[in-house]
Homo-oligomer: A and B are copies of this chain.
Amino acid sequence: METIIFATKNKGKIKEINAILADMNVEVVSMEDAGITFDVVEDGTSFEENAMKKAVQIMEIGNKITLSDDSGLEIDYMDKAPGIYSARFMGEETPYPQRFQAIFEKLENVPEEKRTARFVSCIAAAFPDGRRLVSYDTVEGIIGWEAKGENGFGYDPIFFVPEKGKYMAELSPEEKNAISHRGKALRKMKEMLKKELEK
């Protein structure tokens, strides 16, 4: 059984990826389980660069295939901000309701057709032998006029998903997983990993 490190401190993400990879002969462990404590500086200029930087730096310490992810929200009217800075937008410690307010103010009187936005997720994998993999996916939506819903996290409460007629934070975990950028990117990564591990 191949052990794969997921460069995250988030146990929820480990559970999620292990569920997705359940039918493969691999076990995904957290950095902590792999005995690695290391803070990667996310100074890349794209989701791919940030995700790959984490994967490569942790792979170089653990010497095992390492997965990592980076994601964010692109609001078209705000020139794709907050984008790669989503987690740090207005400061890492700023409560999300405060961020929502700032976004609603920037989009005041902006009509629906100009409120387009997307969640982007990028998953990167780094192999000790120099192979790297990148998968991307997005979910398209619009920035709503209020924060709604109790599920999810981050910007989910202000992100309206037209195909569901609901805000992202109103979706059940199952509904979200089926359409979400992270879920889709992880399933793409699974197919790529399968191919590479066959060799």
Contact = CB atoms under 8 A, between A and B. Distances in A.
A181 B80 CA distance: 40
Nearest to A52: B52
Classify the secondary structure of A's interface with B. Answer: mixed
A134 to B, nearest CB: 4
B130 A131 contact: no
A192 B130 contact: yes
Contact of A48 (B44, B56, B136, B188): B56
A55 B49 CA distance: 12
A53 interface: yes
B131 A133 contact: yes
Nearest to A199: B195
A45 interface: yes
Contacts of A23: none
Interface string A45-69: 1001100110010000000000000
